[in-house]
A and B are shown apart, each in its own frame.
Chain A
Amino acid sequence: MSKTYVPADLRRLVFERAQDSCEYCLIPAALALAAHQMDHIIAEKHGGETVSENLALSCALCNLAKGSDIASIDPETNDTAKLYHPRRDQWSSHFQFEAQTGLIQPLSAIARATIRLLPINRPESLTERVILFRVGRLVIPAD
């Protein structure tokens, strides 16, 4: 079991590009207990490479829930849907943040499948995002 080495300058780029926040649930690294992870958007076992275009910043919880998956089921249609690809998909085309509830609302099949699989709207995460938004520490991706 070997973990692929991600060079320091590439790690820095991934953190800076994501503004230090999980690119799936938006939780900042400073708020987490375990360190945020270098997520291979397309997992290495599916041929995904350790390059900028295939890396996203992910909290440990989202990273485990995603595992090596690249697609899941859209709970609305029961059809297979690709998971959100932070490098290719525009966040605002797929998700909308509700400041009052902390919910990240889906706008597409990709978003519905991703929100369900990870799961981005855990009850605990909602409270965390509401507080973070109030203190101006939640980064909503601007495409």
Chain B
Amino acid sequence: MQITVDIPDDMARQLESLKDELPQILALGLLQVKANPSTGFSGLAEVLEFLATLPSPQETLALRLSDTAQAQIEALLEKNRVDGLTALEQRLWQQYEFVEHLVRMAKAQALLKLQEVA
């Protein structure tokens, strides 16, 4: 299907180098629009909101994925082993990886803080 849309010039410039990825970008955007904030990878937003509350080292160390997000991670791992991931699923995994490292660093810093006070 072909569609024509008017977009601002600055966005057009940004999209110039991403022409080939437009269908994926639209698919990801659609996923975000349709996402229920309490489920799916948008659940990762909750992790960022949690970190923004400046939790204590103990609270940071106790942070885990919600059951829903954990189940999605495991489903992607299984799909990767059996069929491989689609380009869209690979993008989702990259989003998760970014947050995973962010949380690991927050937890490592929490461990350092706890050791300093001990």
- A residues lining the B interface (CB < 8 Å): 1, 3, 27, 30-35, 37, 43-45, 60-61, 63-64, 67-68, 122, 124-125, 127-128, 131-132, 134-135, 137
4 further interface pairs, Cβ-Cβ under 8 Å (given A33-B104, A60-B73, A134-B112): A1-B79, A33-B64, A67-B84, A137-B111
B-side interface residues, number (CB < 8 Å): 33
A64 & B80 in contact (Cβ 8 Å cutoff): yes
B82 & A60 in contact (Cβ 8 Å cutoff): no
Kindly list chain A residues whose C-beta atoms are within 8 Å of the C-beta of B107: 30-31
A31 to chain B, nearest CB (A): 5
- B residues lining the A interface (CB < 8 Å): 47, 61, 63-65, 69-70, 73-82, 84, 93, 96-97, 99-101, 103-105, 107-109, 111-112, 115
A1 & B80 in contact (Cβ 8 Å cutoff): no
Interface residue from B63, B105, B112 paired with A135 (Cβ < 8 Å): B112
B81 & A128 in contact (Cβ 8 Å cutoff): no
A131 & B93 in contact (Cβ 8 Å cutoff): no
A67 & B80 in contact (Cβ 8 Å cutoff): yes
Complex CA–CA separation, A101 to B79 (angstroms): 34
B105 & A33 in contact (Cβ 8 Å cutoff): no
Interface residue from B47, B79, B108 paired with A31 (Cβ < 8 Å): B108
B74 & A33 in contact (Cβ 8 Å cutoff): no
B97 & A61 in contact (Cβ 8 Å cutoff): yes
- Using CB atoms, name the residue of chain B closest to A34: B73
